[in-house]
Structure formats: C-alpha cells, structure tokens
Chains A and B, each alone.
Chain A
Amino acid sequence: MALRLERRAQHSQLMVTLSPVIAILLTLLSGIVIFALLGKDPFLSLYTFFVLPLTSLYGLTELGVKATPLILIGIGLSFGFRANVWNIGAEGQLTLGAIFGGGLGIAFYDSDSALLLPAMILAGVLGGMAWAAIPAWLKTRFNANEILTSLMLTYVAVLLLSYLVHGPWRDPDGYNFPESRMFSEAGTLPLLLEASRLHLGAVIALLVVVAAWVLLTKALIGFQLRVVGLAPAAARYVGFRQKRLIWFCLLFSGGLAGLAGLSEVAGPIGQLTPSISPGYGFTAIIVAFLGRLHPVGVLFAGLVMALTYIGGEAAQIEIGLPAAVTGLFQGVLLFFLLACDMLSTYRIRFVRQPAAGPVASVKPAAGEAAAQ
C-alpha cells in the first residue's frame, strides 16, 4: 500500500473551498507547537495573532489600510503572471508612482484645488507605468529578461527617492532632515471614517478588483491572458501578438503599483520620506499567487496577508513575541496555504501496489489498514 497523488478529473469545488480551511487548521496546529516550544500560551498567541486585530473598529480599518496596496499591486501582478510576464519590480514602480504623484503634491503644497488629488492619482499611475515601460521596452526590443530588469530598477527607484528627499525635495522648514513637506489637505486622500486611517484608496482598490474581474472574464484581453496562461502554444497558433501582451501586462501592473505608491504617500503617510513601503511590491507577489491569480482571490489573499502583519505586531505588543517569531510563523502559514492548493487539483489516495512491488513486502500499519 502506498500514498499516491492522483489528479482529479476536474477541480473539486469542495476542495477549492475546503483547502484554505485545511491550511488554516494545519497552521493553527503548527502555531500551537511553535508557541508552546517558546514557552508562550499557544491559544492566547493564536488569538492575538488572528482574532485580536479584528475585535476593534480601529483594527478592522487598519486591516483595510494595510491590505489596500497589497491588493492593488497583487491584482496587477496576477494579470502578468497569467501570461508568464514576471514583473518582480513592483516595489520600484510603487516608488516611482509615489515620486510622480508626490512630486505634484509637493509642487502644489499650498493648493486647495479640487483638481490636485485627481492629478496626483493620475501622475502616480503614470509614474508606475513609466517605470514598468522600461522592462517592457527592453524585453520587446532587446529581449532582456524582465525578472532582472524590473528587480534592478527597484533599487534604482529607491535610490532616486532617497536622492530627492535628501536633496532637492527636502522640506525647507524641516531642518534639512530627509523628508518632504506634508501635502495639503487637497493633496491627501479623504478618510472614509473619522478617527481611522481608512482612506479613499481602499475604495479604489475594491473598484479595481471589480474592474479586473470584468476585464478578465468579459474582455478580449482577459481571454487572451487566460489562453496564454493555459496553453501558450495554442495562443501562438491563434496569433496573439506576444509583444502587445507583454506591454499590456507590464503597464497594467506598473500602473497599479504606481497607484498603490501614490495612495500610500497621499494616504497614511502624507508626504514623501525615504522609505514609503515595507516591501509591498514583493509581498504582493505572494498575494497574487495566494489568490490564485483571480481578482476575488487576490482581494481575500491581500486581507489575509495584511492580517498576518498586523497580528504579528499585536503579538509583539500583547505577548512579547519577538519579531523573529512572527516572521517564522508567517512563513509557516504561507507554506501551508500554498501547499494546500494542491488538494483542490489532486487527491491523496491509498492504493494497492502490484504484488511484486517492493512496497508490498512492508506490512501495513494498523492505521493504514483502518483507513482502508
């Protein structure tokens, strides 16, 4: 008798629904072990990690604040990943979005025009697109691999921001410290809820989710993406123009990353500073896959991912778990979530080996026999 993975004839709807639940149960189990080993109350730890942040209105709004950039970027990346366009540099595109949009906010720091915010949003999107256009151009024109170019451009973007806020864009009243002026009221995303930081960006993110879903299911480009992802050969046969798809994917994901960058600086941060993102561009890659490259999936994955960060902070505050442990636990959680994806496509079965097989000589354990 042996374990074997068998491919299901079709995706099991039950397992699609159930696999995250199984993953979560396994994570809880491993969490109990990890926390107990570290001498912490496992149930209290898990509660602090996953439930406590959701028990207050502030916690819920913060979940939205944290998830907004992850969802925006994750949606963009998921399109590219469907078509095997590997934009690893969303962090850089986010930074350029912040520079473009934020630059406008700094230039018109005393403006109260209602046009300022829309202009900043537009500039943010364009900034992200412009930065993503470089890998797109290098890929389509010179065949240069976008994994490398987009990643390297991330470092360049962060250094560019550093130069601007240490130099020309410094706040003139800020004692030469490295940060820009604060944006005016008109250059800041309005809050959705008093006494919270939940801003208009969260609504935009939801609209983007809907729009992406429509685009993916109803538009020709969505059809192309799905075909390319599932059957690249067929796509070539039908004659999809590969270069156009590359341009679309990079500009789309770059634009959304730029929007995320702008919504961070014009939202919770309110100015340009040397560090505007704790790595959202990279985390969003996980979000995209955790959400199975589907817009609604990305929405939920973004929320889950945001929860693990906020829960990690809560665990440090409430029960003194070191950041190292929260990182470790986050890693384990992701392992299970990613691994359990398999259960929807495959099933584990106990199968009888042919009598001559080497495994047959091993006597089945009692448990296995019972499982039959």
Chain B
Amino acid sequence: MSGLDWLIPVVLTVITASTPLLLAATGELVTERAGVLNLGVEGMMLVGAIAAFAVASATGSGLLGILAALLAGAAMALVFAVLTISMMANQVASGLALTIFGVGLSALVGASFVGIALDPLPQLSIPGLSAIPVLGPILFGQDLLVYLSFAILAAVAWFLARTRPGLVLKAVGESHDSAHALGYRVIAIRYGATLFGGAMAGLGGAYLSLSYTPMWAENMTAGRGWIALALVVFATWRPGRLLLGAYMFGAITILQLHAQGAGVEIPSQFMSMLPYLATILVLVLISRDSTKIRLNAPACLGKVFRPAR
C-alpha cells in the first residue's frame, strides 16, 4: 500500500478544504430552491464562526459552539427573511447588505477573542476501522462536522427528491403564484428555507473557527461564502453536483499548492486561478445541454412574492 501513502494526507486536506464550502452551499441550495437568493452567505458564515468560537471557548464545549453557530446563522437569515420575504425588499441588495452587516458584527463581537487558542474539534476515530490502511483514516478519522456535511447533503437530496414537503418547497421556488393558489404557505416555506440556509452557513463558519483553523480572526472566511454561492449555481441546484463542485474546487486548490511545492515553475498567480477557471469550464460542459438546465434553475429565484390576496 505504500505507493498510495502520499495520497491519504492529500485526500484528508482536500476534505478539510471542501467541507466549509459544502456546508454553506448545501444551505444556500435549499434557500435558492425555495426561490430565495441570499447573497449574504459570507456574512452569515462569519457570524457563525465567531458565535461558535466564542461559545466554545467560554464553555469548553465544541458541541455548544456548533449549536451557537446554527442559531447565529439562522438569526442572520431571519433578518434577511424579514426584509425580503415580509417586507419585499430586493433580495440581491439585501444579501449584500447582510454581508456588510455580518462582517461588522462579527468583528465587533470577536474583538476580545483575537489571539486566543482553542483545541480543535476531536476527530471521531472509530477504533479498529480507522486503522484500515488508506480508507481507514479517510473514512473513519474525521471530525463531527465532516460527517455532518455528508449526512446533511444526503438528507437534503432525499428531502428534495423524495418527500412531499420537498416537492412543495421546489414548487414554491418554481412558481410561487401557483403554489399559493394551491394553498401552500409560500411565505412560511420560504422563511423555513432561508433560516435553514443561514444555519448551514453558520455551520460552515463554525467548521472554520473550530476545526479547520481553530481560532478567531476578522474576516477569516476570506471569501468562502462567495465560493459557496457560486457552487450552488455550478451544481445547477442539484445536491449531487454540489458535492462534485465543492470537492473539485477544494481538490484543485490543494493540488495547485502541491504543484508549487513540487517545483512547477508557473507563476503562482496563474496556479491560484486554476480552481476558478476549472469551475467555469466544468459548468460550461454541464450546461451545454440547455434543456436540462432550465429545468433546474428555480424559475422564481430572486423574485418577490406578492400574494394577490
């Protein structure tokens, strides 16, 4: 097995780089599927990150930190939902405003947490199984949030494809007027989807501040919220492709760092462009069949729902 030994740490690194993207993007996917476009992911992630860090370092409990991140992300999303769903403010602009707000809020709260260290979330190694060569450490040596990211994505995929509430949610995103006419509670469903998106963004932030780099520093998301947003589009609003997108982006980011270390003599700026270019390229390949794509972009995405009566 020694030939594959180098691969294990690389895969482990790819997993940690992809998990925050996957968590946040899974939430945004549900939000967008219900027809709500929330561009405030970056802000919600930051607030989630500081909430998780603050609570975990005060209580010593990573689980409480995770819970705090879920609530904080959802609270941010609630602000957005009140603005855009109840008060019918423009979603795109409100989402950007939410990010500005979140950057400020997290920095304000986080001021007293700068420079404090925190033990990372424990890895849940399963005795016996983690010792299996190659697959063991990859499959059975991760922390809680990595497993959660897969579990939640699977649950979302199942929910959207196989359950009645999932179909209703998609119907709301496709045509809120028809859904409303059929008696579905468009507003309540959109609130639910938006709050779920916020909670997941908070969870993505928690992964950053509790596990990926266990610390708090201002703006520590460094644009990951935007990548998560782009990945939802990349995935053409399908959970399976989201997994592909998040891991492809994470893998290329890591591999270009490896290539640099191995002495590939291409200016590093061009190496850093690779994940973005690859995402565009693959999207083009996926999108070429125009009939398939139209079925997936929620028709009411970003549109204000105004109940006729």
Residues of A that sit less than 8 Å from B by CB: 7, 81, 86, 138, 142-145, 147-149, 151-153, 155-156, 159-160, 162-163, 166-167, 282-283, 285-286, 288-290, 322-332, 334-335, 338-339, 341-342, 345-346
Contact = CB atoms under 8 A, between A and B. Distances in A.
Given A326-B104, A331-B98, A342 B290 contact: no
Interface stretch (B16-24, B66-74, B118-126, B272-280): B272-280
B174 to A, nearest CB: 15
B107 interface: yes
> When A and B form their complex, which 9 residue pairs have the shortest distance between CB atoms, in order from nearest?
A331-B101, A327-B104, A328-B104, A334-B97, A324-B107, A289-B93, A163-B269, A338-B89, A324-B108
B101 A148 contact: no
Contact of B290 (A143, A148, A328): A143
Interface in B67-101: 79, 83, 87-90, 92-94, 96-98, 100-101
Contact of B94 (A143, A148, A322, A338): A338
Contact of B230 (A7, A151, A328, A339): A151
Contacts of B288: 142-143
Contacts of A285: 92-93, 96
Contacts of A162: 269
Contacts of A86: 92
B280 A144 contact: yes
Contacts of A331: 97-98, 100-102, 104-105
A341 B89 contact: yes
Contacts of A330: 100-101, 104
B284 interface: yes
B293 interface: yes
B92 A7 contact: no
A332 B306 CA distance: 24
Contacts of B108: 322, 324-325, 328
A345 B306 CA distance: 11
B198 to A, nearest CB: 15
A60 B283 CA distance: 45
A66 to B, nearest CB: 16
Nearest to B101: A331
B302 to A, nearest CB: 8
A7 B307 CA distance: 9
A148 B32 CA distance: 14
B83 A335 contact: yes
A86 B92 CA distance: 10
B156 to A, nearest CB: 20
B257 interface: no
Most buried by A among B100, B234, B287: B100
Interface in B251-309: 267, 269-270, 272-273, 276-277, 279-280, 283-284, 287-290, 293, 297, 306
Given A145-B283, A163-B267, A163-B269, 17 more contacts: A138-B284, A143-B288, A143-B289, A145-B287, A145-B297, A155-B276, A163-B270, A286-B93, A289-B93, A324-B104, A328-B105, A331-B104, A334-B93, A335-B94, A335-B97, A338-B93, A342-B87
B111 interface: yes
A23 to B, nearest CB: 11
Contact of B280 (A138, A288, A339, A342): A138
Contacts of B270: 159, 163
A329 B86 CA distance: 22
A168 to B, nearest CB: 10
Most buried by A among B83, B101, B104, B293: B104
Interface residues of B, number: 46
A327 B101 contact: yes
Dominant secondary structure of chain B at its interface with chain A = helix
Contacts of A143: 287-290, 293
Contacts of B89: 335, 338-339, 341-342
B279 A148 contact: yes
A286 B79 CA distance: 17
Given A147-B230, A159-B273, A153 B97 contact: no
B263 to A, nearest CB: 18
Nearest to A77: B92
Nearest to B223: A155
B218 to A, nearest CB: 8
A242 B1 CA distance: 56
B93 A327 contact: no
Given A138-B284, A286-B96, A152 B104 contact: no
Interface string B137-180: 00000000000000000000000000000000000000000000
Contacts of B105: 324, 327-328, 331
Contact of A153 (B236, B269, B280): B280
Given A167-B267, A331-B104, A145 B111 contact: no
A330 B100 CA distance: 7
A290 B93 CA distance: 8
5 contacts: A81-B92, A144-B287, A159-B269, A342-B89, A345-B88
A323 B269 contact: no
Contacts of A166: 269
A143 B100 CA distance: 31
Given A289-B93, A324-B107, A152 B277 contact: yes
A80 B276 CA distance: 23
B226 interface: yes
Given A138-B284, A145-B283, A286-B96, A156 B101 contact: no
B259 to A, nearest CB: 16
B103 interface: yes
Nearest to A327: B104
B233 interface: yes
B280 A148 contact: yes
Contacts of A163: 267, 269-270
A82 to B, nearest CB: 12
Contacts of A322: 107-108, 111
